[in-house]
Amino acid sequence: MTIRTRFTELVGIAHPIVQGGMMWVGRAELVAAVSNAGGLGILTALTQPTPDDLRREIDRCRAMTDKPFGVNLTILPSVNPPPYAEYRKAIIDSGIRIVETAGYKPTEHVEEFKSHSIKVIHKCTAVRHALSAERMGVDAISIDGFECAGHPGEDDIPGLILIPAAANKVKIPMIASGGFGDGRGLVAALALGADGINMGTRFCATVEAPVHDNVKRYMVENDERATNLIFRSLRNTGRVGKNSVSDEVVRILSEPGTKFEDVAHLVRGVKGREVLETGNLDAGLIWAGQVQGLIDDIPTCAELIARIMREAEEIITGRLAGMLSPARRQAVNA
């Protein structure tokens, strides 16, 4: 079965499945594997140390795939922010046609990307943010439910409510993020009004993901309970995998009067990178979502995407069609 949606038409992909940009993970080998399998792979710009390194990574990805892929640029408030404008220029100069933006006040970047006819997908965690991004001129929305890894916002709205609530108001194509890992999730997302799904944690547990095997096995062995919500008291909630480091962060920040500085030594990005590269699961944070409860193997990206599409077809033409009257079932299967 081919599932065509507004989103697949917008970005020119075969299947409505996106690999979201993930820090230290969104590298060429994973991105190309997803795109070659018919999904949309996304490089993570700030994983690369410099804009020139990003240019080289884009070239490396192009050597591995002739299919569409994008680049993520996440804008976060920082005391020493990276040179966002230079990364943006590297993306534009490299001829990238699809960008995923996320984070704080992206207007300047969205306007510049749009002026170069680049399709922009903006990640949001609330309907009001999605509508703001739509007014800003982005081409598609990625709406993140509370189940997701990373920063799910402060409203605590799960996908089952957030996706249709957004679909009721957002007019541009929209993909659903948070808790997706199989064909059941894809069919559910489509039923709720989305035009596809975005997966992060599920793609970390694939053969091509550039992370240590210990991390992949960690995700296979865990269940849906194995996450922690950190930074709650700081109003910057993040969902991460449960380990000794995230347990300690939760413990410290539960004490009255504590500040980010009290846990900064535990949550530095370089420590998270060490986890992914060395497999030392207690070296730092492991960013992972509740979808761990649906991960029980480590397939190739091609195997995973093919399986999701096969499962979706079986649900649509089998289980769901079987609930229809004989006449309607015949029409669906025609």
Does 195 lie in the same domain as 66? yes
* Mean pLDDT of the 148-163 span: 97
How far is the C-alpha of 178 from the C-alpha of 200, rounded, in Å?
Answer: 8
Please give the pLDDT value at position 331: 65
Does 181 lie in the same domain as 87? yes
Residue 211 lies in a domain: no
Residue 128 pLDDT > 90, yes or no?
A: yes
Residue 116 lies in a domain: yes
Residue 45 lies in a domain: yes
CATH number of the domain to which 61 belongs? 3.20.20.70
**Average pLDDT in the chain:** 96
Does 233 lie in the same domain as 182? no
Does 138 lie in the same domain as 11? yes
Q: What percent of the chain has pLDDT over 90?
A: 93
Q: What pLDDT, in 10s, does the model give residues 262-285?
A: 999 999 999 999 999 999 999 999
Does 188 lie in the same domain as 240? no
Does 124 lie in the same domain as 77? yes
Does 66 lie in the same domain as 26? yes
Does 67 lie in the same domain as 131? yes
* Cβ count near 125 (within 10 Å): 26
Residue (of 229, 231, 219, 291) closest to 76 by Cα position: 231
* Mean pLDDT of the 49-53 span: 98
Does 179 lie in the same domain as 102? yes
* Assigned token pair, 139: 């081409």
- What domain range is 231 assigned to? 223-290
Residue 78 pLDDT > 90, yes or no?
A: no
Give exposure, 205-227, as e/b (b: 16+ Cβ within 10 Å).
Answer: bbbbbbbbeebbebbeebeeebb
Per the structure, the count of domains in the chain is 2
Does 42 lie in the same domain as 90? yes
Does 262 lie in the same domain as 151? no
Does 234 lie in the same domain as 160? no
